[in-house]
Structure 1
Amino acid sequence: MRGERADQVNLNRLAVFVALVRAGSFTAAAEQLGMTKAMVSQHLAKLEQELGVTLLVRSTRRMSLTEAGATFHADCVRLLAGAEAAIERVGTARDRPSGTLRLTTSLDYGNAVIVPRLASFMRQHPAVQVDLVLSDHVSDIIAERFDLAIRGGWLRDSSLRATRLGSFRQLLVAAPAYLAERGTPRRVDELPSHSVVAMSALPNPLRWNFTTRGGKRSTVRPRPLAQANSAAAVRGLVLAGVGIAVLPDYLVDEDIRAGRLVALLAHLHLPDGGIHAVYPGPRAPAKVRAFIEHLQAAGG
């Protein structure tokens, strides 16, 4: 019976009751609440009916709380204060980065780019804790409760929100030892005779589309000697001299500068890939917006 009565109480009437006690009269309460005196009286009457107790005793000149009314009033004040505090906390979380930022990205991009930028972000926002998950598996960010995913490549259609952070170049590379043994390809039509390490996680790992500076296009469909679902693993195989591969610039730029890898067919261009921040919901929380802005300021 007690549970049924609680379910029947209109909680909006609690605020009217507290305002009435604070104002000291129905007239003053009506003015403060922006409603008629009759409406205030009606709310009180219905609240008393729903509770099954008398809260206020009224005379022509004054009103006073009953014992049950005084106890209930004290409980209502605490309840409404707690609700106001909860609303304020939500507003603070909405406007100020705080809490745990749970995000995911690929192993290679995460280690090469996201980890150092997370470190600088955390120094700027000490109220944010980070839970980073590195995986080459494309996570279901809603089911796995991620706030954010950083994805490279070409986005598939999705109901998720996406913000473009930047782009990366695809480079055809090989190790000097491999080229010394097999020769350096100078033309696209020489590529099918070379050993290829394919990145199987790509939408079309065995279709390379090259474009000249003049806009002429050519497509190569190599046969892989080996393949891997991780760009880092493909890079490792190429560094070991297994074959040539297409890899993102952020993963091999340092290798090229150090002479560990050689960029091939530099006069041709492979399609650029995009780096996107992907998140659920129509409006990202402050911690997500702040990290996206941090990545954009740093260039993706």
Structure 2
Amino acid sequence: MADLRRMAIFAAVVEHGSLSAAGRQLGMSTSAVSQQLRTLEQSFGVTLLHRSTRKISLSDAGQRFAVHCKAMVVAADAAEAQLRLAHDAPTGQLRISAPVGFARLVAPALAPMLAANAGLTLHLMVADEMIDLIEARIDLALRAGRLADSSWSARRLCALDTVLCAAPALLARRAPVQAPADLLRHDWLGLPRDGAGLELELSAPGKPVEQLRIEPRITSNNQLSLQQMCGAGLGIAQLVRADVDDDLRSGRLVAVLPEWHSRTFPIWAVTPQRDAQPAKVRHAIEALQSYLRSVPGASV
């Protein structure tokens, strides 16, 4: 283990270019640094540094050795940082981005964490468009569905079921929906898809999978708006069960073809970096995952 410390001293000498500069950085005298280097060279029987009264230079063996000593120091610093992070309490400003439809879930998910950490503040940016996390200084973004390739780190929090919904008044005045093919005779609400239409895949126990391509009559880039228009009887919509659970329980909306299941939406926590996450981000991800997995229609 003593050699590991001497290797770190050697790496500091190489980094700073002199024994005295390395000594100042390490809190050691120049003579103590020199002694540690001599002991290291004697231990391995190899000359690492050529010394003169004015400068030092690396031997061939010293150049190769320095690369690995530097890597050792970097690894040790990373290990120490991980230990510090493990004990850090969440502090500072936590900047989160979430789609409009999911923003209402952030408050109950993070309320215990905010109550327990007086030094933590929250800035919630609500936007359905994909924003640049670096430019907007976002610590954590909630994203749904398939993610585009990027250098950002993504952690799956849960998956949320969807349900086909309609207002009771709409179903009362239009043709009944008894099979998937009947859906084609109704008006639909959906997200804009650049002319691609809505690809609907339905499955039911003991029945073949049904795939339908539907052209929505009304489109919006906002899930909350689609939910409101669905409640107004303007069409059928595929909505996240967690969002419409209260409406379904109250009867404001009804499930269409409830025995048929449509797709689920994976929910992701996206961060600008994968390693050395600050405590505020790590704790927020854990809190969000725990809460989201408890909402109606959620699964791992």
TM (normalized to structure 1)?
0.71
Residue 242 of structure 1, aligned match among 212, 223, 234: 234
Q: Is the 8 A contact 2:197 2:215 kept in 1?
A: no
For the 8 Å contact 1:154–1:274, the answer to whether it is kept is: yes
CA gap of 1:17–1:172, structure 2 versus 1, over 3 A, is: closer
1:103 aligns with one of 96, 106, 113: 96
Larger displacement relative to structure 2 (270-279 or 134-143): 134-143
| Aligned counterparts of 1:18 and 1:164: Cα–Cα separation in 2 | 42
Residues paired across the two proteins, number: 246
- Cα distance in structure 2, aligned partners of 1:201 and 1:105: 21
Give the equivalent residue in structure 2 for 1:156: 148
Change (3 A) 1:45 1:229: same
Corresponding position of 1:16:
23
CA offsets 1:159-206 (integer angstroms, 9 cap, x no match): 321111111111100011111221431111111111111122799651
Matched, 1:143 2:135: yes
Q: Aligned to 1:103, what secondary structure does the other structure show?
A: strand
- Superposition TM-score, scaled by structure 2 size: 0.71
Out of 179, 183, 188, the residue aligned to residue 171 of structure 2 is: 179
Unaligned runs of 5+ residues in structure 1 are 1-8, 48-87
Provide the C-alpha distance between the structure 2 equivalents of 1:204 and 1:166, rounded to a whole number of angstroms.
Answer: 27
- The one-letter amino acid of 1:190's match is D
How far does the alpha carbon of each residue in 1:27-53 deviate from its partner, in whole angstroms, 9 at most, with x for none? x5655xx3349x9xx699669xxxxxx
Deviation at 1:145, TM superposition (A): 2.1
Residue 289 in 1 paired to residue 282 in 2? yes
Describe the shift of the 1:19–1:158 C-alpha distance in structure 2 as closer, same or farther (beyond 3 A). closer
Unaligned runs of 5+ in 2: 1-15, 40-47, 57-79, 294-300
1:230-269 matches, within 5 Å, as: 230-269=222-261
> Contact conserved, 2:201 with 2:211, CA < 8 A, in 1?
yes
Once the two structures are superposed, residues 222-279 of structure 1 have per-residue CA deviations (whole angstroms, 9 ceiling, x without a partner) of: 2322111100000010111111111111110111011110011111111111011111
User: Are the counterparts in 2 of residues 19 and 29 from structure 1 also a CA contact under 8 Å?
Assistant: no
Q: In structure 2, what is the equivalent of residue 213 of structure 1?
A: 205
Structure with max Cα Rg: 1
Partners of 1:123 and 1:43 lie apart in 2 by 62
Kept in 1, the 8 Å contact 2:18–2:55? The answer is no
Q: Decide which of 103, 106, 111 is 1:114's aligned counterpart.
A: 106
Percent pairwise identity: 30
Provide the C-alpha distance between the structure 2 equivalents of 1:155 and 1:299, rounded to a whole number of angstroms: 19
Distance 1:139 1:120 in 2: 27
Q: Does residue 1:298 correspond to 2:291, yes or no?
A: yes
The runs of at least 4 aligned residues of structure 1 exceeding 4 Å deviation read 9-12, 17-20, 28-31, 42-47, 88-95, 201-205
Moved more, 130-139 or 214-223: 214-223
Q: Give 3-state SS (helix, strand or coil) of 1:210's partner.
A: strand
Tell me the SS of whatever aligns to 1:150.
Answer: strand
> Cα gap change, 1:212/1:19 in structure 2, threshold over 3 Å: closer, same or farther?
closer
Determine helix, strand or coil for the equivalent of 1:159: coil
Q: RMSD in angstroms over aligned alpha carbons?
A: 3.3
- Whether 2:234 is the aligned partner of 1:227: answer no
Identify the range of structure 1 (195-204 vs 102-111) with the bigger mean alpha-carbon deviation. Answer: 195-204
Give the aligned residue type for 2:20.
R
How far did 1:116 drift?
Answer: 1.7
**Aligned counterpart for 2:188 among listed residues 165, 187, 196:** 196
Name 1:72's counterpart in structure 2: none
Between the aligned partners of 2:234 and 2:102, the Cα distance in structure 1 is 23
